[in-house]
Amino acid sequence: MKKTNFTEWYNQNYKTLFLIPAILFILSFSYMFYFYSVHDDFIYKDISLTGGTTMTIQGSFNVEEIKPFLEQNLEEVNLREISDLVTQEKKALIIQTKSEPELTKLILEEYLGYELNEQNSSLEFSGSTLSQGFYKQLLLSVFFAFIFMAIVVFLLFRSFVPSLAVIISAFADILMTLTLVNILGIKISSAGIVAFLMLIGYSVDTDILLTTRLLKRKGEGALNHRIYNSFKTGITMTLTSLLAVVSALFIVKSFSVVLSQIFIVLSIGLCFDILNTWITNVAILRFYLEKQGGEND
């Protein structure tokens, strides 16, 4: 399709394209409302946010054999293997459970047939009160980060609709990412909450780029020309970040639970950011500028 033909098609259909992220937003909001009504929370939380025992045992184990035994004797068990980055040799097994550390150690020793000590294992325990307090602080951090971001955006553009478009796009990124994470059944740790904090920054940068080009650089050409130039720069930024994040995910997934979760959340969020920036935000800004008058294609 030639550029001229595409421009004509886009001019006629950009409002229709806006329905795609709008429907996704409504579905995501509805799902999260249902999820909260069922679970009384916004996410599935792992041990770091609920409290419990984490035990790491050195060696190679058959997860399919040990998991049923642990699930019968311990509460809410989650297993993860650690492998060597180069050889992929299994080095250790991480067991997370809500059961008390003494019981966890006893059950594991019963299954393994030998004593667990500092040389062949490590044991960590976090109380539920401490973990819940930490979780609330993380949620407050995300909330205030979003509020301060919104204030900065309003101060930067001093116009309600363009500023609101940036905020809506950023919020949609977080909402859609959170929805997909919950659908996939991923248990979020403190690292996952931090990833959502990072996602706010990733979401806003391309939106600010787009809004600045369209509102403050009107002398650089027609509206479609400025949108196209913004898209070239912005999509390069996003795809570069996405490539780096996905590559890092494949590298660290076998030995770092913390980094894996951060990169998973960012990967999902960056994909939604492409949709929300270059369809949602563009549509709102284009409609706003056309209503303001004085813009040509």
Query: Is residue 297 in some structural domain?
Result: no
Q: Are residues 269 and 134 in the same domain?
A: yes
| Helix (H) / strand (E) containing 81 | strand 78-83
pLDDT digits (tens, 9 = 90+) for 173-202: 999 999 999 999 988 888 888 899 899 888
Query: Is residue 146 in some structural domain?
Result: yes
pLDDT digits (tens, 9 = 90+) for 27-51: 999 999 999 999 988 998 888 787 7
Q: How far apart are CA 176 and CA 138, in angstroms?
A: 19
Q: How much is the pTM?
A: 0.83
Q: Are residues 108 and 206 in the same domain?
A: no
pLDDT digits (tens, 9 = 90+) for 236-287: 999 999 999 999 988 887 677 788 899 999 999 999 999 999 999 999 998 8
Percent of the chain with pLDDT over 70: 91
Q: Are residues 99 and 148 in the same domain?
A: no
Local structure of 253: helix, strand or coil? coil
**pLDDT band at 16, cuts 50/70/90?**
confident
* Backbone torsion region of residue 33, taken as left when φ is above 0, otherwise alpha when ψ lies between -120 and 50, otherwise beta: alpha
Which structural domain, as residue segments, surrounds residue 69? 52-126
Q: Could you tell me the CATH number of the domain that includes residue 9?
A: 1.20.1640.10
**pLDDT band at 8, cuts 50/70/90?**
confident
CA distances from 148 to 177, 198, 200, 208 (A): 21, 14, 11, 15
Task: Check if the beta carbon of residue 229 is closer than 8 Å to that of residue 219.
Answer: no
Helices (H), the chain: 3-17, 19-39, 47-50, 63-73, 101-112, 128-157, 160-183, 190-216, 223-252, 257-275, 282-292
Query: Is residue 7 in some structural domain?
Result: yes
Q: Are residues 244 and 287 in the same domain?
A: yes
CA angle 133, 254, 251 (to 5 degrees): 105
Number of independent structural domains in the chain: 2
Q: Are residues 196 and 109 in the same domain?
A: no
pLDDT digits (tens, 9 = 90+) for 227-239: 888 999 999 999 9
Q: Are residues 119 and 74 in the same domain?
A: yes
